[in-house]
Amino acid sequence: SKQFMKSNNIQLICYGLDTVATVTINNMIIGRSINMFDRYIFDVKHALQAGKNTISVAFTSAVTFAAIQSMAYKDDIPPDCPPAIQHGECHRNFIRKEPCSFSWDWGPAFITQGIWRSIELQGYNSPIIRDVKISPLYDNGKKEWTLNITVVFYSSSKFKGTGKLSLTIQPKLKLNRQTWKVSLSKYPQIFTFTAKVSGNVKRWWPINYGNQSMYTLKIQFQVDGHSQPTNSISRRFGFRTTKLLQPKLKKGNGFYFAINDIPIFLKGANWIPADSFESRVTPSVIRNLLQSAIDANMNVVRNWGGGIYQHEAFYDIADEMGLLVWEELKYACSMYPVDSTFLNSVKNEITYQVRRLHHHPSVFVWGGNNENEVAIAQNWYGTNKNPSLYKKNYVELYIKTIRPMVLSEDPSRPFLSSSPSNGVQSEKDDWLATNPQDPYYGDVHYYNYSSDIWKTSSYPTPRFASEYGFQSYPSFEALSKVSKSSDWKFNSSFMEHRQHHPQGTAQLLQQMNLHFTLPKSNTSQKSFEDYIFLTQIVQAVGYSVETEHYRRRRSLLDSSDKGMTMGALYWQLNSIWPAPSWSSLEYGGRWKMLQYYAAKFFAPITLSIYEDQDIIHIYGINDYQSSFNGMGIMTLRTWSSMKPLHAWNLTVHLKPLSSKPIFHKNSKTLLKSGGCLNRLKCMLTLQLYDSHGSAIGTANTLYLSPFKHPELLKNPKLKLVVKSKSSSNTYKISVKSDAVAAFTWLSAGPIKGRFSNNGYLTTDTVTSIEFHAWQNITKETLQKHMKVVRHNSANQDLKMAWECQRSPYSCQFESKVISCTPSKLEGKDGFDVLLEDTILFPAGGGQPDDRGTINEVSVHDVRRDGSKAIHFTRQPLEIGTDARINLDWKRRFDHMQQHTGQHLITAVIESRYGYKTLSWNLGKARSSIELSCKSMTQEEIDCAELEINNAIRASTPVTVHLYGKDDPGLEKIRSRGIPDDFAGPVRVVEIEVICVCGSNFSVRNVDPTTSCGPEDHVDQVQKLQKTAKASQKAARNYLREIATLEAEKFNNTTDLVLCVHRVVAILIDEIQMSRCRSIGFDHIYAQSTSELLGKSSIKLIQLADLKSSRKIKSK
């Protein structure tokens, strides 16, 4: 309007442009953006006209921009690209944009662009208040609060004059001063002033420590001569203090946060972006996720540095709920450039974001970056090739640029240079510690994918654990929405595409295999759902073990002075899409089993039970500010009956904010005294009661053996009924059971909501559960979709009898000694040892038995007795003790190669010539197969040998099927017969259209060396290696010659060249090659990168696949 055009100041405010954009008004460029996290303010009055106007924001590909910046930069700044398994894009560190949008090990590469936050056109005549900061500071000596307030004025006109600032607070508090005179002349102009507060100030507290009292501060500005205020701004804030304390200990330093001078054990998880597309992240989505954190007894989330500075609703809701926020600046897992353009963008970003978030009491600490200190220390990205450069850049960015800016803008909060780091010790080490994961200092990130995550001994004892965890799959309901039935296999191409963590699937299988018998196949929806269920069980129990370990150490130091652990923030709370991840909440907010377990292991007051080195320990943990007196009941139970075997009463006295040991006893002694003679058949539960006898929370459980003996578990015949609606969208559910059931899991199908408890051990005939629906439903609808499963129903499929059959490549295994009886072998005395499970194959099917040791005792024979594997040793083994089995792999591998080769030979000869295999035998130097023919011609032998070796070279697919002994499907498959005492399923190996039968063998792609005898294997392998090296050398030479020719062609043209690498398009006008690598160009020199779009001729060149990191320099 004409009236609007009369405004002295007209500005376009862009609160979020993602990311590289040119802004025009009426075809006139008024500004550009290069930072997703900055607020851009453009003066636009000169470009506007009365009437219709057109504002245009034109975006450039972030991928292209980042690649060009990388090419133009003087140094190599790693990492260039993410690991191939992430299917991501390159050079995320050369653009100030959400890092994880380029892909991560839990998320996709969806590199968005557009207007992602609000955009406004503002007109005003006098200067306006653009920002305000509020820092409540408490003087412990004077017992009074002071408000430090900073006001930032903006104006695009040359206004000079004076005015009055006035301050009010609601609910009302007394201030020693409420008005200030200001003089304005240049902009932005900053005023800082203080006001002392008196009266009954109510503090803001984290959840479970007090109320979340909030105040509204309103600041008005009135230009002298005006009768009314010309501008005002309001902020919600809270009175609270925050400190990072690192007291000197006997060895190292402590590390904990105090809120309002109360040391807080931080319990929570790491927050990642809730969606790849932030426009879908509404306040209701944020509220649901943060409420789930509160409902799981968390008091903190860490807004991780690879995501975004969150929406206003995130911090408003956290303030309201009492949820602390560790706000990490958005720099993660990368080195970064430090040229003036990049640093200036960083400075603008930090200034804006700190001022934007400063007033939220939930934000209690600023973090400089995620894992960049440890990345340098551990050479994650090859920084050791030039350590001085990367250390200098690190200090320049985080210590000399970001840190002073944050502390200047906000002196009320601590600043951590990195996570993990050694805190004060990192500072003494010039901000780059040799080992930023030192358990005696600071915080640690701990991931261990090879050890048993259900064992306490697998974990460190740090001062503070700010990241840790293990993967699981989301529910079938989540995955089925984005897949089709052919994808519903554990290792389908769909699942592998969404698995972005290297070796992630193998790690899941390994952990599941330690504790469970895996489903019989991977070909049905049922088996797929079973796999999903087992991953969630493994994750939930693993996090429980690790988190309770950290909580038990809050008040204690061990013999090596480790402990005083004051934080446990697991990775990660939420998911960005339906895929394997470390999250406890699925994409969309559905609770995984882990989230239900988090509500237990984060309970403010709890008892923790675990076993270590044959000792059962119980600890008490109290996060409240008052003492606790109560009782714990430890109950010994069996799988076969709901009637307890025995119970022990424990007196529990806990001081405020503390942990302490309550009970410990030898496992065998305890179980024997309670009437359990076989730990396979028993478990312990532990329930806490207050002084009035009321149960606190749900019972903790200590399982005493792997879940590999389904014969011990009765079918509980679980039934559930939706009883009634107790309140708005809350329904009471009754679960009936005839027997003990582990990991009882309730599902409401597509209905959104959560249960009051889930994944629990059923020990009562009737269990009452509540379902909190997140949508309007009827009782009938809920009943229709409700279902219940438990561990032993998820594994009703056929199972191979022994670990050696389920995992034939395992060389070490832990089991239990079930029995040990005197025996003889070839006239020599010894003992027959029976284990819970074994990795040692018994003899059978033409294959000799394995050899190895049990607890360093040699095994001289393994034989099958029905479903049992009997181990013969010369020394006795104590019944009930742990059995550490080591396999003689050299012997096993030789057997596997020969046995697998025999099955392949049998299949090919029978399918081609009809000669059936009658018997076979494995020998040390030669193996034999007896066929149903008098002889074979040389032509038949040569033809069979060629077909067999071709099948090997072609990596012919092999599929394993399991059949019950009486399955009619077996009638269609010819075999040499099955022993009468055989127990368990029959395994049938299918080699394309060929089927071979066996019960105790493994099929794997056989090496070509099996065409010769074992004595010639080494020579054959060496020949193959030499041939491969010669081929590689020849390929390098050919590629070098091709690259040289291409370089000469480039030198002889002045045409514009479009260089395509992956999906990145880079415009350069003349390219020279200095030298080439075998797999791509090492250096590309670009001349004249300016005014390229004016060129008229474009040539499209497809370069070699540049898989290596490369440097591209401007001449």
Catalytic residues: 371, 467
The CA distance from 396 to 998, in Å, is: 65
Residue with tokens 């206003």: 312
3-state SS of 433-500 is CCCCCCCCCCEEEECCCCCCCCCHHHCCCCCCEEEECCCECCCHHHHHCCCCHHHCCCCCHHHHHHCC
The CA distance from 710 to 691, in Å, is: 39
The CA distance from 31 to 26, in Å, is: 13
Q: Angle of helix 525-552 relative to helix 593-601, nearest 10 degrees?
A: 20
The CA distance from 578 to 593, in Å, is: 16
Q: Which residues share a beta bridge with 651? A: 631
Pairing, β 119-124 against β 9-14: antiparallel
The CA distance from 239 to 205, in Å, is: 9
DSSP string, 400-443: IIIHHHHHHH-TTS-EES-BSB-THHHHHTTT--S-TT-TTSSB
What 3-state DSSP class applies to 934?
coil
The CA distance from 559 to 193, in Å, is: 51
Query: The tokens of 495 are what?
Result: 């699942």
What 3-state DSSP class applies to 258?
strand
Report yes or no: 801 and 767 within 8 Å, Cβ to Cβ. no
Query: The tokens of 767 are what?
Result: 């269990």
The CA distance from 749 to 1024, in Å, is: 55
**CA torsion, ordered 518, 519, 522, 525, to nearest 10 deg:** -130
- State the amino acid at position 263 in one-letter form: P
Report yes or no: 922 and 846 within 8 Å, Cβ to Cβ. yes
Which of 172, 221, 217 is closest to 198 using CA atoms?
Answer: 172
Length of the chain counted residue by residue: 1115
Report yes or no: 823 and 872 within 8 Å, Cβ to Cβ. yes
The CA distance from 112 to 63, in Å, is: 10
DSSP state of 96: B
Examine residue 171 and say whether the peptide bond preceding it is cis (omega within 30 degrees of 0). yes
Residue with tokens 């109290």: 622
What 3-state DSSP class applies to 366?
strand
Which of 127, 82, 439 is closest to 252 using CA atoms?
Answer: 439
- State the amino acid at position 799 in one-letter form: K
Pairing, β 179-184 against β 128-139: unpaired
What 3-state DSSP class applies to 673?
helix
Report yes or no: 306 and 104 within 8 Å, Cβ to Cβ. yes
Q: Residue 716: count other Cβ atoms within 10 Å of its Cβ.
A: 22
The helix (run of H) or strand (run of E) holding residue 303 is: strand 300-303
Which of 323, 328, 277, 263 is closest to 297 using CA atoms?
Answer: 323
Q: Give the angle 896-900-904 at the CA atoms, nearest 5°.
A: 170
Which of 733, 728, 729 is closest to 744 using CA atoms?
Answer: 733
What phi and psi values does residue 202 have, to the nearest 5 degrees? -100, 125
Report yes or no: 996 and 906 within 8 Å, Cβ to Cβ. yes
